[in-house]
Structure 1
């Protein structure tokens, strides 16, 4: 029993992520508990046997005393009775010694097993506490890095959104400036042609005026087509930039749903996109003709 107990007390458990395998630990503690209880039972048995032997010795001593009292003298006892008494006393003494020795060994083994079990339990608790502390530290570091990365992504997205908005504003202003310059140039050329026609005869003036109107119509058509192309290009640019901004913000919403500022920025991006569509309008041919006639 002592060898088995020693092996059990020096057993190594399988390590897992959160410490030792709980199933193995529970089984080990159960076996130690059973062994400890078995040792206690053996001790109780030996105590009972020791008590029986003690009672037998007392009984034999009483018999010896009785025989001594009833005999006329100690020398009157026969050799046979004296020999039997010595044998009985020797056997009882030997049984007492064996019982005491085995009882002491069992008690020492039980104490050793209990101490080993307590030491192993303390080591397991210390190891589990160390692992828990390490896991908590790692969790704190991971969460800190995640928050820092999230803040960096948000800052980059906001900066990129502002940059795209500024670039789109500059492109829109440039397109409007070019359109105004083209209309001014067209009005100037048309007015020059009209003035030149007025300096001629009425017929020539009417002919040239008609030619000028035809030319103006042709140029207006070309201008309309060119303006339409530029406006389409500007509108597509505005829509692409707005869609890019919306896509970035939608991705941020899906990843960082708890950030309260993203929904409002996304809503603003939708409004900017819709407003940009309504701001860029193609001037109608009737308005341009009216401006040419007024010029």
Structure 2
């Protein structure tokens, strides 16, 4: 997964994702061999020469100006998070967390998590690993509440059962992970994580090669538990300024729905286990 031409790979992958008609060019014809935009089309949209774009894609020029990157971002129809990621490929902005620090939750986050013990909540580390979780998360998520979340999604045999809409979860997880690690592409822990995922999952490799990136802080997903059933949850990620790069993630259910009733059953199971332990 390691490469020195990250900018070129990103530009090439992203122009392959845009149909000519989306960018105002004639629709695909039978003789058109390129699945997305041609180099000359992207160059025209960005106001740069084809030769210069070729040098960027081939890694011959790795120091484009911010203005050039902004025009390329517009040509490639990147959203704000995509623009930030593109810039990070030229000017790394990430902080490599200290290994000892990320292995445990930041004290303030640990105190915050304790207030959500009856909710499905956890602290996510800078490599998508869960470093601490609530009792409700343990009860409902089970094995999915432990370890690296990308490795669970792509390498654990139960993941497609845990996530009924597994394809969407996998796609979103990879794009979120790429956003999370922007500017840290030379991080040894990151490379080890990518190596395990790539060796164990062809699907991960294909999704990582798409170069999708997003920084969503909320969304919805379905999660199945064999004891409680399938719950549709809304999730919110509360990012922090801690140098550990840790994030507090909270799952909630829409009041009055079957999912809310399932969540209440999870809470009641915690009460039952606590009262049983004190008898």
TM-score (norm 1): 0.16
Higher share of residues assigned strand: 2
Higher share of residues assigned helix: 1
